[in-house]
Amino acid sequence: MIFLSHSWTNKLEARKLVEVFARERLPCWLDEQQLDDGATLRTSLLTAIAQSDVFLYLVSSAANESKWVQEELKYALGLELDEKLCVVPVGLANSQDPLPALLHGRIYSTLDPESGGATRLAQKLSEIEGCDHVANNCQLSTTVRIDGQRLIHTLAESRELLGSRLINVKMLLLNAGYEAVDSLYYSQLCIHFL
């Protein structure tokens, strides 16, 4: 599973990645879909990182300056040293934001369309062992996007990932610009695929 670490200022880019990853059958953990009311933020984030196989860091100045994002990164780097996950920094499209000091010297991917963008990134991530596994006690992120007269969703791909397991799926309803449709931006479903 992929843990998607990002600044809230990059939320639209993160939502786009969740949709692309789901189409490529790569399970992803996105905070706005996974955090339950009343949950302890720090504990929830660190647990999700520990359950992940890939920690994807969306590089931006805002993420580099965020206390929360940097704490996530430090924790993930510790797990990477123990060979429990892989830290993958990814630059946003059309951005020259630098890597944070903790990742200085690493080669990183970019979401620039010229480099293949999110689809190429998803293909590269699918080559990482365990990236497509879904832990039994986790929640899965999926999207439903309204684009003109079309309803674009990733539920079929979620079914393939889960097989016949019963698991919580949190769905995010988005408009064509990847903005949440209303303040009740997700509903939790418990889906049993047969």
Question: Which residue range(s) make up the domain with 158?
Answer: 2-192
pLDDT on residue 85:
93
Per-residue pLDDT of the chain (194 residues; tens, 9 = 90+): 899 999 999 988 998 888 888 878 788 887 766 666 666 778 888 988 998 999 999 999 999 999 999 999 999 999 999 999 999 999 998 899 999 999 999 988 888 888 888 888 888 888 887 666 555 555 556 655 666 656 555 555 555 555 555 455 566 666 666 666 554 444 444 444 44
Distance (Å) of CA 176 to CA 1, 141, 153, 155: 26, 18, 12, 18
* Residue 52 to residue 30: CA distance in whole angstroms: 12
pLDDT on residue 98:
93
Count of domains forming the chain: 1
* Residue 68 to residue 84: CA distance in whole angstroms: 21
Please tell me the pTM assigned to this model.
0.74
Domain CATH code at residue 92: 3.40.50.10140
* Residue 9 to residue 128: CA distance in whole angstroms: 28
Contact 187, 33 (CB under 8 A): no
